[in-house]
Amino acid sequence: MSHVSLKNLKKSYDGKTDVLAGINLEIEDGEFVVLVGPSGCGKSTLLRMLSGLEAISGGDLEIDHARVNDLPPAQRGIAMVFQSYALYPHMNVYKNMAFGLKIHGASKDEIDRRIKHAASILKIDHLLTRLPRELSGGQRQRVAIGRAIVREPKLFLFDEPLSNLDAALRVQTRLEIAKLHRDLNATIVYVTHDQVEAMTLGDKIVVMHDGHIQQAGTPLELYQRPANLFVATFIGSPKMNLLEGVVAEASATELSVTLAGGQLLKAEVDASRATVGDRVTVGIRAEHLWENNEGSERFTGTVNLVEHLGEANYLYVTLSTGQDIVVRGNGEREVELGQTLNMSAPAASFHVFDRDGQAFHRLKPGNLRSSKG
Amino acid sequence: MQHKATRYAGSAFTHVILAGYSILALFPIVLIAINAFKDRASIFDSPLSLPNSESWSLIGFEKAMKNAHFFSFFGNSMIVTVTSLFFILLFGAMAAWALSEYKFRGSRWLLAFFAFGIMVPIRLGTVSILQIMVSLNLVNTLTALVLVYIAQGLPLAIMILSEFMQQLPKELKEAARCDGVGEFKIFFQVILPLIRPAVATVAVFTMVPIWNDLWFPLILAPGEETQTITLGVQQFIGQYATDWNAVLASLSLAVLPVLVLYMFFSRQLIRGITAGAVK
Ligand SMILES: Nc1ncnc2c1ncn2[C@@H]1O[C@H](COP(=O)(O)OP(=O)(O)O)[C@@H](O)[C@H]1O
Ligand SMILES: [Mg+2]
């Protein structure tokens, strides 16, 4: 069992500016939590506070309901995997994994058993006598993970473990980490700046920005109901399209917005707290704009760039109002540059954010695929 | 073509300079070594010629070895050099680790204090050092020499080693801390093995001046029992007659131990450098 609870955790390096301004988070046993956010938002700092490498400036950190604020890393029952792997360069793979165990006084047989077990899970059995410098990047990464596994920690901490790998290896290792999580039933906190990594790995994703948690939830929740503009644009690729507008009519079931070009747009959101005349931002994802007239809300524009992905293509379109948006189109249909494109979207697909960037609750998120298209 | 020619000329020039310097530096040493194997007459008749069947003689070595104290001089030098070296490296590395890893009040001042020690020669303090040694009853002991040499060697050792330690990735120490490794174990089992080339460098730079020093042995430990080899050799240089055979032979012998130590450390040094380069 391991349950981690962060209560109003704060960090300040200089005593004046808060790098982390009161983080609240519950991590359940066996949960895979991904901390994601742009570079410099405090993810690593938070992870290092969990590990005990960085002092906690305020608030409480509890592991299994015991306050561990002032415990050194070794006594917290954590294991950390660093972005740079941090393998001991002068020890071979076996010794790298055995080092921490020996310190804790495990018997030779026990150490051997654990290392063999971890090595077979990670398929590094044949590398045990090599030095780190004789390994490839991917192999080093496995050894670093192996070193964490043999400790049998309550909590695994990963700090951007894949960022030093090339793209193909990254995808493969990502799958293996997911599998490892399932097989070991481990509790994991994983830091990344890559939203795709976050979406694919996390049971729970915590989006951070400027030392605050912007939103925490399942991947689908974040995708369907981003709490604010930051999360909306951070999660999902390509970035959500944003259109400025003014509230024309507001109710608990529908919001009408006058867009910049004068077009009236209806969105199915709970707008009971909106007042007519408020500035709002309307968001629509590329995949929810269809190249047909099935949706209730219509747009017209000219195609000025096409990105082919094979099964789909992204069409970069300039609307008649001069606004640039991205549309996901059928990849096997030819599109010509300069061609006029008619698009539509259902009213349920829109996200609307108030002037502070907070989202209005969407009423019917979910299956919005066009039947054609 | 033009390029290649200038590059060759450049490298030839470098090599000429280096070779010239080497010849200059080696000349007196070679002169001592070849004359150590000649009889007294040949040393003065033709000092530059190599020993031949006529002039060949081991008389100098025989005389030197017959001297009752010759081996104890050697032993003294060995003890003083190795002990000083050991403590300079140990304390130097520990201080460097403390100064580079832990930020505490006054750490900057302490670093400046050690830097000061590099700039000011310890010989300036000879009089006070002698007074201290007298009051501690350490005159004519090897301990006195060892203490002075440790003080003399520490500043440079700390500077060089802390520079190297700062370059070690922070994550290594953090990984060890997560592994539950204590600070002393981190120092001895992670940090020290990784800065071995730096330690070897410091060892080489520190060892030679200690071995060669004449000043402090003369002032602090001139007694028969505690003379080092550099001081002991002076016995053969008399006020009226100098036994050149013995002087040259013992000087040649005195080079050997330090040469062996140097080769031991320089192997480490080069291995360390190449290991770093391949990575
Ligand atoms: N040791 C430190 N001293 C002072 N500021 C730091 C230190 N480490 C990180 N910071 C600051 O804290 C903020 C968060 O850093 P970090 O947690 O590393 O971000 P992330 O991992 O999300 O990229 C950054 O603005 C960074 O400049
Ligand atoms: Mg980071």
Q: Do domains A4-227 and A238-362 have the same CATH topology?
A: no
Query: For B14-36, what is each residue's pLDDT tens digit?
Result: 999 999 999 999 998 899 888 88
The two three-digit tokens of residue B94, written as one number: 């520990």
* DSSP β-ladder status, A269-270 and A20-27: unpaired
* CB distance A225 to A349 below 8 Å: no
| A39 Cβ inside 6 Å of ligand 1 | yes
CA distance A349 to A352: 10
Place of tokens 């740079």: A84
Least Cα distance to B179 among A44, A141, A4, A72 occurs for A72
Is pLDDT of A20 > 60?
yes
The CATH topology of domain A238-362 is OB fold (Dihydrolipoamide Acetyltransferase, E2P) (2.40.50)
Q: How many CB atoms lie within 10 A of CB B255?
A: 16
Q: In this structure, what DSSP letter does residue B69 have? A: T
Q: Identify which of A52, A80, A89 has the shortest CB distance to residue B194.
A: A89
CA distance A10 to A239: 31
ipTM for this model: 0.81
Residues of chain B falling short of pLDDT 50: 276-279
The predicted structure's pLDDT at residue B278? 38
Query: For B177-235, what is each residue's pLDDT tens digit?
Result: 998 888 999 999 999 998 888 898 899 889 989 999 999 999 998 888 888 988 888 87
CA distance B242 to A14: 71
Query: For A345-372, what is each residue's pLDDT tens digit?
Result: 999 999 999 999 999 999 988 766 655 4
| Cα(A38) to centroid(ligand 1), Å | 12
Q: How many CB atoms lie within 10 A of CB A123?
A: 11
Q: Residue B133: phi, psi to the nearest 5? A: -65, -35
Confidence of residue A373 (pLDDT cuts 50, 70, 90): very low
φ/ψ bin of A56: left (φ > 0), alpha (ψ from -120 to 50), beta (otherwise): beta
| Cα(B208) to centroid(ligand 2), Å | 46
| Cα(A191) to centroid(ligand 2), Å | 8
The predicted structure's pLDDT at residue B271? 64
Shortest-distance atom of ligand 1 to CA A47: 17
Query: For A312-351, what is each residue's pLDDT tens digit?
Result: 999 999 998 889 999 998 888 888 899 999 999 999 999 9
Q: Is A13 on the interface with B (CB under 8 A)?
A: no
Q: Is B277 on the interface with A (CB under 8 A)?
A: no
Query: For A60-74, what is each residue's pLDDT tens digit?
Result: 999 999 999 999 998
Confidence of residue A27 (pLDDT cuts 50, 70, 90): very high
**Residues measured by CB to lie within 5 Å of ligand 2, the ion:** A 44
The predicted structure's pLDDT at residue A9? 93
Number of H helices, E strands in chain B: 14, 0
Q: Identify which of A53, A90, A133 has the shortest CB distance to residue B177.
A: A53
Q: What is the mean pLDDT of residues A183-188?
A: 90
| A44 Cβ inside 6 Å of ligand 1 | yes
Contacts of A137-141 with C-beta under 8 Å, sequence gap 24+, read A137/A164, A137/A165, A137/A166, A137/A169, A138/A165, A138/A169, A138/A172, A138/A173, A140/A85, A140/A87, A141/A85, A141/A165, A141/A173
How far is the CA of A354 from the CAs of A52, A228, A282, A360, B137, in angstroms? 39, 9, 9, 7, 85
The CATH topology of domain A4-227 is Rossmann fold (3.40.50)
* CB distance A360 to A353 below 8 Å: yes
Least Cα distance to A6 among A198, A236, A189, A250 occurs for A189
Any idea of the CA torsion for A208, A211, A216, A220, to the nearest 10 degrees? -10
| Cα(A35) to centroid(ligand 2), Å | 10
Domain residue ranges in chain A:
4-227, 238-362
The predicted structure's pLDDT at residue B58? 83
Q: Which of residues 163-222 of A touch B (CB under 8 A)?
A: none
A120 burial type by CB count under 10 A (0-12 exposed, 13-18 middle, 19+ buried):
exposed
Q: Identify which of B169, B180, B275 has the shortest CB distance to residue A104.
A: B180
Query: For A246-277, what is each residue's pLDDT tens digit?
Result: 999 999 999 999 998 889 999 999 999 999 99
Average pLDDT value over all residues in chain A: 91
Query: For A118-144, what is each residue's pLDDT tens digit?
Result: 999 899 999 999 999 999 988 999 999
The CATH topology of domain B66-278 is MetI-like fold (1.10.3720)
Query: For A292-319, what is each residue's pLDDT tens digit?
Result: 888 888 999 999 999 999 889 999 999 9
The predicted structure's pLDDT at residue A358? 95
- Note if the pTM is more than 0.90: no
Q: What is the mean pLDDT of residues A159-168?
A: 89
